Structure 1
């Protein structure tokens, strides 16, 4: 091939390569142009029918969330009531700077949308962190002008939001936008806007906020419930200090100012602001708390939700009347009461009382307080024992005291010795020495797990002392736990909300019944039979038998803790599982008519009055019945600390005779002679029993330490 020919080939080849590269990039250019033209058409279509964003009033628009009772009546509305709009001149300069440095540090550099912020947020999220990219302007648009679209997690909504944010920046100054934002955002405790927040938390106007106070408030919008200065001061202070460091990093305060403010104690001074309490404030506050777990604050407070709840106005009225009447009759203004009633067949909360007066004490004693349940916890030990195969007719030495471990001595209330009696009788008499032996035989881990499976959410350590009710449990969880028995062994979570709709009527949540079987209905039957013993003998039972008017089967358990600080009655009928607590907000000995209180003159009357009213005229129902009976292990398979088993063939126990006379501080006297002999094959024969009235207030656990860690020393309980 000649040189000219080779050159011609090379020239042609070079041109071919050049044409191919040019064609490829030309194709990409044309494709990109086509995509942009197509996307431009899509975006143009997305930007049709935008709401009015030209008026400043558009950025204060909100729609209340409406809460309904089970009968469809409105019981509350959550809305922006506590908002007082102020001009930027009426806002502390510290607050103006803190909110920018915390929420949108490039607020004064971008034009509504911050590309750098988006890249930074992507980088943080790729690194496993979490950071938002929305500017203050975008947040304002999303929570006001585009509030109808707040549930739309779509690119369309993002484009519309960004577009309006950019247009806003053309129409309003940065100062105006920041002012609208500070008058709109939610700070918790129903306070919308910086002025309402200043009064709510510090009882002062926004213009008077100090650096530390402004930093505290400007740290709240991210999560008002988590950083609540009233409920979570430690978290609020930590968040405040983060805001101060961001202000220093932005150059808005000096290191000296930052360090001095960080050293300040977080001191709140709650101001008076109205709230949309509704008819049943403790319950509607609880519903709001549940909503805030799944929705942001702005959605709950101005999203126009429709929330359908389980509360029954008739049952709720019965609960309110019973609590008020009985507390008034006692005449102790400091005495509080809490009550929760649950339908065992659904888990629906039908009534909730969180205290005697919401105006004077907004702390919900039914859901937020964790108080020791005393002997009412023995029900969980009973269920664990029955489920493990322990016969309720097995005999246990219930004398007092009991050396439960080398370092832990347990007493019955008043050091009463009950002799060797059945497990069922030990439950009715609330024998501490008997039930400590039961939990030791069954295993504390099984009792703890049983309580959890039945509905107790607080941590229950696997100590033997838990059977005496030494761990605080909210009233609502006790009602939920007992409902598992009333339903035939099926646990259902306590339910307050059945359905939620958005402002357009679309269902965004609907409750589905998902019961979980914890134990057989046969075990539930056996537990109910034992629990009925509490209502059939003794002083507590006399209150129920003499005052209960409805024709319904009733079972339950009382509970009294050390020095009568917490008084309980947890009772069940086929229709309602009810937990009632009485005590003081700050723990102390409950006094009733000059003497230590007891369930029989506090919680039991409240329960009976409530049931009489709530179930008045309701046809008798029965607890779920099992096809068969529970299966039990041989009595000899159970080893009790202080109970000597003699013969598996005859189920005999050692002979024991005890005579005990007790007179407590209230003047009530018990004299009991008990004989138990092998000839009776384990049966218990009572000679003479004289009971003037039921023993008085009981005691929980005294002393700490020992092998059980949670409680040691002596323990007792006066409930029966």
Structure 2
């Protein structure tokens, strides 16, 4: 800046100061000698400024609409395709109870202790607030919040905040006035008692009563009511479970307050204050529902949808119509539990689980111990490995628990409709409360021979035919790094030609490996991804033919659904539509158009050879044991050392698959018989299909396509089947209730979890005693994938 410019600015500043000086002098004089008018203006300005401050904060507090919405808060309801309640998405473990169903002792204790002028004020008790302020200024800090103010904090913690500032207190007071305008006093008490937290994930007086006294809120006596209300001053500090002495003292203070304000006679107080707490503690867990793993996956999807469409799944009363059939879901759950229990007894005997794995492999058991946090803590304390191992080996309780956890049998099951991709049943584990880890969509395991259809499908797409042959001979395939892959079968090479039809029916590893060489791993991996294995990583190596790349059960069942749908892929569908609480449709999800990833001719050839797996190959017990006579095709799978057992069955209306194994793939059933997919996973699918066919939820007469008769005998069989179907027609499946015919959702009753009984005509399933020779499936591969490490749920 030039010197002239600086001079101009200095002159302007000096003139401005000169103009201001007279006004400043007059203002200073009036401050020193104020007039009556000045006093009046000052007195009026203070409340005006306070009022202005309040008016500025009003838009930053919850509106009347938000208050009314909180009053009728409704969690999302998840319904099955046949109208049964599968789950409710609640933000907390809370069960709402009406004030009339709460013990009056609770209300008396609450009002006497927290807000004895509750029925006289309109949200803010000015007398109590002033008293609390005086005590606080004198150094004895006291709370002056009314029950309504506390409710405002509980309902809207984000809008009001928790900081100890004037702004927070003003916003809290404004919200309390609004609540009093919307709610009656009884509704305020009901809402408060149903939203206050009581530790251990118990929200509301009903869950608190169950948690601490094993009774409902309506049956609480005076001392129990005083104990719970006493916790409101400090849940952890006055926790009756871990701090019983403090809780007892606080309970007696509450009882004294009840005497002070006329809710309890003094004579009763003298006897009640000497009573012990008598806590009957038990954590309250949410009911898992009919399809807990499915609901868990659906919650993630629904939260994303709600965020994109400005809805709240916990309060907006959404009604989600899913594809799950509650009847098929119950059958699937029963099949998984039944077979899982059978296999668990075998695993216990093989590993000596109840005795701490005494019958197990010592090196592996030692590895289990070294992986525990207890072992690491012992080493951190300075113990040597030998000393630590001796300590834990002598601890029978520790070893028994460790072994039982490691050898707990697990299973996963999924069924979907191949015509539209709609998922009909989803069971993620034997028991959700014990193992919430989902073995359908989260667990990635080697699929073994269930991966072979992708090799044969790729070959048929290139022009190969089911009657083409390959020589059953020793196979050596060089791998990167100088290794040699030598796939083997249970029997030595015969040197004879084997058709591709027999290769898949009898699950021949050497035949499949040669076919993989002819097709190429890249084409097989590309087809598998196109058919449905879209999320898991597939290693493009020759051993992929025998299922060495870990995948999920959901991916495999979806891919088999593509085969059953004539080569047209439809991604799995969870939801058909979403409605609001009034029944208005918010979103409709129509079946997607199939994407043809495998030609119809190749898909039909693949399906036809997979029929032979059931008719005369490794899956014959579907016919011999479970009596399933419909048009079905499928494939068994067993991985190395019998770590994983698989079976997937295809029907024109339903494709179902099961996986069986342990969370830690180093643990196996240690049985060449029970470890095979044909004996571990197949019974789950067989039991499920047997029940669903007998219940007529799927039609046994439906066929994939009409097959051309082979020769005179084949034509005779076809004519006989047609005559039999005409003479004894099957009864149609019962209709599924339409959603529009249901009453309004907000009045829909909660259906208790109750699995339907098995059909009365279904006999008790016998142990596996095959009525025809069964084909033994060979081990899938001699190359272990890096994914064979323990899986972390």
Q: What's the TM-score bracket when you normalise by the shorter of the two chains?
A: 0.5 to 0.7
Conserved in 1, the CA contact under 8 Å of 2:638 and 2:675? no
Please show how residues 411-490 of structure 1 align to structure 2 within 5 Å.
411-414=487-490, 416-418=492-494, 419-457=496-534, 458-490=536-568
Q: Is 1:528 the equivalent of 2:607? A: yes
Residue of structure 1 aligned with 2:637, choices 533, 537, 559? 559
Residue of structure 1 aligned with 2:318, choices 297, 305, 318? 305
Corresponding residue for 2:182?
none
> Following the alignment from structure 1 to structure 2, what is the Cα–Cα distance between the partners of residues 305 and 574?
33
Corresponding residue for 1:362?
436
Residue of structure 2 aligned with 1:293, choices 297, 304, 309? 304
> Following the alignment from structure 1 to structure 2, what is the Cα–Cα distance between the partners of residues 290 and 389?
41
Corresponding residue for 2:485?
409
Following superposition, the deviation at residue 417 of structure 1 comes to: 1.7
Which blocks of at least 5 consecutive residues in structure 1 are unaligned? Answer: 1-45, 88-136, 146-164, 197-204, 209-270, 628-690, 712-720
Conserved in 1, the CA contact under 8 Å of 2:316 and 2:581? yes
Conserved in 2, the CA contact under 8 Å of 1:59 and 1:144? no
> Following the alignment from structure 1 to structure 2, what is the Cα–Cα distance between the partners of residues 397 and 191?
67
> Following the alignment from structure 2 to structure 1, what is the Cα–Cα distance between the partners of residues 317 and 157?
14
> Following the alignment from structure 1 to structure 2, what is the Cα–Cα distance between the partners of residues 502 and 392?
53
Q: Is 1:399 the equivalent of 2:473? A: yes
Conserved in 2, the CA contact under 8 Å of 1:401 and 1:415? no
Conserved in 2, the CA contact under 8 Å of 1:62 and 1:144? no
Deviations 1:471-495 (A, max 9, x none): 1111111111001111111111111
> Following the alignment from structure 1 to structure 2, what is the Cα–Cα distance between the partners of residues 612 and 557?
17
Give RMSD over aligned pairs.
Answer: 4.3
Please show how residues 264-413 of structure 1 align to structure 2 within 5 Å.
274-275=285-286, 277-296=288-307, 299-330=312-343, 331-332=345-346, 334-405=408-479, 407-413=483-489
Q: Which is strand-richer, 1 or 2?
A: 1
Corresponding residue for 1:171?
174
Following superposition, the deviation at residue 555 of structure 1 comes to: 0.8
Following superposition, the deviation at residue 575 of structure 1 comes to: 1.3
TM-score normalised to the size of structure 1?
Answer: 0.55
Worse overlay, 302-311 or 417-426: 417-426
Q: Secondary structure at the match of 2:485?
A: strand
Please show how residues 32-431 of structure 1 align to structure 2 within 5 Å.
51=64, 62-82=73-93, 168=171, 171=174, 274-275=285-286, 277-296=288-307, 299-330=312-343, 331-332=345-346, 334-405=408-479, 407-414=483-490, 416-418=492-494, 419-431=496-508
Deviations 1:398-424 (A, max 9, x none): 323433545222222336325331222
Please say which structure displays the higher CA radius of gyration.
2
Seen in structure 2, the aligned counterparts of structure 1 residues 143 and 440 have a Cα distance that, compared at 3 Å, is farther
Corresponding residue for 2:703?
622
> Following the alignment from structure 2 to structure 1, what is the Cα–Cα distance between the partners of residues 527 and 80?
32
Corresponding residue for 1:258?
none
Following superposition, the deviation at residue 317 of structure 1 comes to: 2.0
Worse overlay, 357-366 or 57-66: 57-66
Deviations 1:378-436 (A, max 9, x none): 11111111112222222212323433545222222336325331222211222222222
Q: Secondary structure at the match of 1:301?
A: coil
Q: Is 1:493 the equivalent of 2:576? A: no
Residue of structure 2 aligned with 1:516, choices 566, 591, 595? 595
Deviations 1:160-215 (A, max 9, x none): xxxxx999466269xx9xxx9xx9999xx99999xx9xxxxxxxx9969xxxxxxx
Residue of structure 1 aligned with 2:648, choices 563, 570, 580? 570
Aligned length: 448
> Following the alignment from structure 2 to structure 1, what is the Cα–Cα distance between the partners of residues 616 and 452?
18
Following superposition, the deviation at residue 312 of structure 1 comes to: 1.0
